[in-house]
């Protein structure tokens, strides 16, 4: 009878040791989920863009890091960048995609889509004082896109703003 008691005691002690460790895991994941929601809310507020758990958080963190970087023709660093280099960098870092260096080249290498079908990560193209595509941005959501303004640098704008409405050429999706 004694060996049987040892097994029962051993089984009981194993349960006592293992059960508390299961509880602590739930607390950690609950805490990290809460932290993630807080980070998303903070990013959303800072960028003035609607962001949720389904959004590409890495994209918005990268944008936040570049907001305000000044425009510089042919620039490609945080000391100054142009629109196509910024979009090329975002596509490479966030999506692991490459569609060329110039906005015109990006336009020719993407699949045309309707404005109503735009989704996060699609490209939006403009003709600004030019006969060919001369400006590119990356669509975020709710008609907002990130781009590099010649006067304000990296920023988020709305496709419904008159300036962009009048110069909008089309949208493209990277395959």
Q: Which active-site residues does the annotation give?
A: 83, 135, 147
Give the whole-angstrom CA distance, residue 169 versus residue 38: 37
User: Taking a C-beta distance cutoff of 8 angstroms, is the pair 89, 98 a contact?
Assistant: no
Q: What are phi and psi of 112, to 5 degrees?
A: -65, 135
User: Taking a C-beta distance cutoff of 8 angstroms, is the pair 128, 134 a contact?
Assistant: yes
Give the whole-angstrom CA distance, residue 49 versus residue 43: 8
Give the whole-angstrom CA distance, residue 155 versus residue 140: 12
H helix or E strand, kind and range, residue 146: strand 144-149
Give the whole-angstrom CA distance, residue 100 versus residue 87: 10
In the 8-state DSSP scheme, what is residue 70?
P
């Amino acid at each position: 009878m004694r060996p049987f008691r040892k097994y029962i005691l051993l089984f009981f002690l194993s349960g006592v040791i293992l059960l508390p460790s299961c509880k602590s895991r739930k607390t950690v994941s609950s805490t990290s989920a809460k932290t993630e929601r807080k980070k998303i809310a903070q990013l959303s507020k800072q960028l003035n863009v609607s962001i949720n758990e389904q959004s590409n958080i890495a994209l918005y963190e990268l944008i936040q890091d570049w907001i305000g970087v000044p425009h510089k023709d042919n620039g490609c660093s945080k000391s100054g960048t142009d629109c196509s280099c910024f979009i090329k960098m975002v596509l490479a870092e966030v999506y692991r995609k490459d569609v060329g260096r110039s906005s015109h080249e990006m336009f020719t290498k993407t699949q045309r889509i309707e404005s109503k079908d735009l989704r996060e990560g699609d490209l939006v193209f403009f003709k600004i004082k030019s006969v060919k595509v001369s400006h590119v941005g990356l669509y975020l959501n709710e008609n907002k896109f990130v781009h590099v303004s010649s006067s304000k640098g990296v920023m988020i704008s709305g496709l419904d703003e008159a300036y962009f409405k009048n110069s909008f050429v089309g949208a493209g999706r990277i395959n």
